[in-house]
Structure 1
């Protein structure tokens, strides 16, 4: 019998554990951080586009595609655990090239956003884009479809945001997404999304909340940190720099 591929094993990690437990994917912004997280016992890692951009001297959202994919490849090479890559919305590359670059980098999965320059992409267009990436990548890629409604839909009532997040989530799943990432959704909405959608829901843990435990209790089967861990590490460097300067 043929052993399951890396993406299949990564999918299984999302289904492991008891209800109320989540797969925690620390966001490694460089190979050294990736090794530390892997040595701590985490079963898989994610890469944060904001953290990598900062490590390379760019603002969030302004890192060139070549630099981002090269950074992901270095992180993948540094560890033996699966790595999923945050690649924003693919940097304007054709779906076939996105799939090829992720394959070359060694990533088993990716995040794909449904907004560009702060504006939501039409749900139908995003679903078609996700379907094209899925077709190009085949089953050897775990696609985590980000839903930016709560992040970008300011001014709408909460019920409308939840309804749109559910509609987008269902459309993206039909297009082939393996998970849905409703970034910025409150815990109550995450609980509804986790109950109603037939794939793992990704929750975003922040230092000021919600916590990993709160997200898992709400039904999130996957928890990531965005660029938060990198930001906390760099804040530690700032504190150290101030101590050295005033020492």
Structure 2
């Protein structure tokens, strides 16, 4: 099986897909036992000293190519709105993702326009349909995820979100995703409204068991692992600057372990 087929089969059961932000974290997460990885647009941007949305498409695809080559696991990419606004650009995004060696990718209905952050319904569906057509034209399996971004951008409209996800499903999307959900009942409602696998963005109030019971098949972390690493760096910095101590190093992953893992191709 190719990586796309392996990735598709993982959606038969509920699984966690973590989001590394560079080659080292991709190799570590693969070594820890996860079955697939996903990129994080925000996490990668933060690692470059940029805001979310601040990485251009070609730079993002280069990053995705590096991560896909760093591990034998299937890698799916967060490609934001893709190469551009039009359906044709959405299709080109899929071809670029395939050329980068990815097993799948997601495309959002977030426009990036502060005045009109979510694409009009019909335009969003046309973009998904074009991406699906491109994915079906590939010579290998490719898992395409369609994202409805209402809840992340000040539009917590559940009815419209479900309408969009249902339309994306009808257009042929393989996985459906509405990031920004914060309660299990909303997750349950969305999962029961569609028949394709649903990805849920993890929040502290969720557990894998509760999300599985609610019907979610894929659980991603977005930028949370990156944010956590940055948070620990801030905590260590405060300890050094404010207390003049270094006990934070007791919780660090040992140098020897990292050296051995990377020396053996972790």
TM-score range, shorter chain: 0.7 to 0.9
Q: What displacement does 1:131 show?
A: 1.1
Structure 1 range deviating more: 143-152 or 93-102: 93-102
Aligned to 1:152: 153
Within 2, Cα distance between the matches of 1:28 and 1:134? 26
Within 1, Cα distance between the matches of 2:179 and 2:94? 23
Q: Is it true that 1:104 corresponds to 2:99 in the alignment?
A: yes
Unpaired runs of at least 5, structure 2 = 246-266
TM-score where L is the length of structure 2: 0.82
Q: Is it true that 1:168 corresponds to 2:160 in the alignment?
A: no
Aligned to 1:226: 222
Aligned 8 A contact 1:123 1:171 in 2 = no
Within 1, Cα distance between the matches of 2:184 and 2:197? 15
Q: Is it true that 1:141 corresponds to 2:142 in the alignment?
A: yes
Which of 125, 128, 132 is the equivalent residue of 2:130?
132
Aligned 8 A contact 2:3 2:73 in 1 = no
Q: What displacement does 1:87 show?
A: 0.6
Structure 1 range deviating more: 110-119 or 73-82: 110-119
Aligned 8 A contact 1:83 1:108 in 2 = yes
- Larger Cα Rg: Structure 1 or Structure 2? 2
Count of paired positions? 233
Aligned to 2:119: 121
TM-score where L is the length of structure 1: 0.88
| Structure 1 pair 97–91 and aligned structure 2 pair: CA distance change class (3 A) | closer
Within 2, Cα distance between the matches of 1:162 and 1:183? 12
Aligned to 2:61: 69
Q: Is it true that 1:78 corresponds to 2:70 in the alignment?
A: yes
Aligned 8 A contact 1:27 1:45 in 2 = yes
Aligned to 2:200: 203
Q: What displacement does 1:32 show?
A: 0.6
Aligned 8 A contact 2:144 2:173 in 1 = yes
Aligned 8 A contact 1:50 1:61 in 2 = yes
SS in structure 1 at match of 2:42: helix
Aligned to 1:24: 16
Aligned to 1:187: 184
Aligned 8 A contact 1:182 1:190 in 2 = no
Which of 25, 29, 32 is the equivalent residue of 1:40?
32
Q: What displacement does 1:153 show?
A: 4.8
Q: What displacement does 1:239 show?
A: 2.1
Q: What displacement does 1:40 show?
A: 0.7
Aligned 8 A contact 1:109 1:142 in 2 = yes
Q: What displacement does 1:217 show?
A: 2.5
Unpaired runs of at least 5, structure 1 = none
Q: What displacement does 1:151 show?
A: 2.7
Q: What displacement does 1:31 show?
A: 0.8
Within 1, Cα distance between the matches of 2:133 and 2:42? 27
Aligned 8 A contact 2:191 2:215 in 1 = yes
Aligned 8 A contact 1:30 1:52 in 2 = yes
Within 1, Cα distance between the matches of 2:37 and 2:119? 27
Higher relative contact order (CA 8 A, sep 6+): 1
SS in structure 2 at match of 1:144: strand
